Amino acid sequence: MSDPASRPIAVLGGTGPAGAGLALRWARSGENILIGSRDAQRAHEAAEKIKREAGNQSRVSGMENSAACAAADILVLTVPFEGQATLLKQLKPAIRPGSILIDATVALAAGVGGRASRTLGVWQGSSAQQAAELVPKGVSVAAAFHNLSAEILNGDEALDCDVIVCSDDANASQLARSLAAKIPGVRAIDGGKLENARTLEQITALLIGLNIRHKGHSGIRITGLPDGAYV
């Protein structure tokens, strides 16, 4: 794998609010961002917008999703659950061996005409576990960023939210936590195995319900852990 300091981060589905918000925050922190889309022109336009918001010094470019996979070994997946499996199957040949995929997908019932404040049952247990089944052998998956509000990510304020990272691979978990900690206001916490991602997704559904009920942008904070548990 290349030098972590110069490794680009490909945000697949980065034209949507969740991916664009993460990309904006990482671009501001100096990371080299590749916005991925099913359409290269849409990716280019989204990248230009993020670059304008992050400042001229920022490194943001846009390309079709498979080109982004071929150019990066850090992949962040921010697409709706209903498109996740098809997209990963399409991208499989382009994903580089040894890559780390960080999945932020939430299996919300809204995607199939249900309520956004409810999750779908996923056969594998969670969206992230489904992703882990679909990536090429040797590619590690971490689940993270489910509980961050895209609306706040796309603004200038610090987030008031912890990011819990779940993964079966220590390096993938470490990488996701270091990226989380680059977002102002975020503390990253090791949430254990990938199977715990199902709880992260359910928390998102709960937060959406709270946002509707109370008209806000809720997040979560975990208290009571020793200082060393927070990155």
Ligand X SMILES: NC(=O)c1ccc[n+]([C@@H]2O[C@H](COP(=O)([O-])OP(=O)(O)OC[C@H]3O[C@@H](n4cnc5c(N)ncnc54)[C@H](OP(=O)(O)O)[C@@H]3O)[C@@H](O)[C@H]2O)c1
Binding site for ligand X (CB under 6 A): 13, 15-19, 37-39, 42, 78-83, 87, 104-106, 108, 146, 148-150, 204
* Least distance to ligand X, CB of residue 96, Å: 20
Smallest distance from ligand X to CB 47, Å:
11
- End-to-end CA distance of the chain, in Å? 23
Whole-number minimum distance, CB 83 to ligand X, in Å? 2
Q: Is the dihedral of CA 121, 22, 31, 65 positive or negative?
A: positive
161 bridge partner residues: 186
Q: How far apart are CA 7 and CA 1, in angstroms?
A: 9
**Rounded to an integer, what distance in angstroms lies between the CA atom of residue 13 and that of residue 78?**
5
Instruction: Considering the complex, state which of residue 16 and residue 136 has its C-beta at the smaller distance from ligand X.
Output: 16
Of the two residues 151 and 228, which places its CB atom closer to ligand X in the complex? Answer: 151
Q: Which is nearer to ligand X, 18 or 75 (CB)?
A: 18
Task: Return d(Cα 31, Cα 228) in angstroms, integer.
Answer: 25
**Nearby residues of 135 by Cβ (< 8 Å), 6 or more positions away:** 88, 92, 95, 99, 101, 141
Beta strand pairing call for 161-167 and 140-143: antiparallel
CB of 25 to ligand X, least distance (A): 13
- Measured from the CB atom, the residue of 49 and 57 that comes closer to ligand X is 49
User: How near is the Cβ of 135 to ligand X at its closest, in Å?
Assistant: 15
19 phi, psi to nearest 5 deg: -65, -40
User: Cβ closer to ligand X: 17 or 98?
Assistant: 17
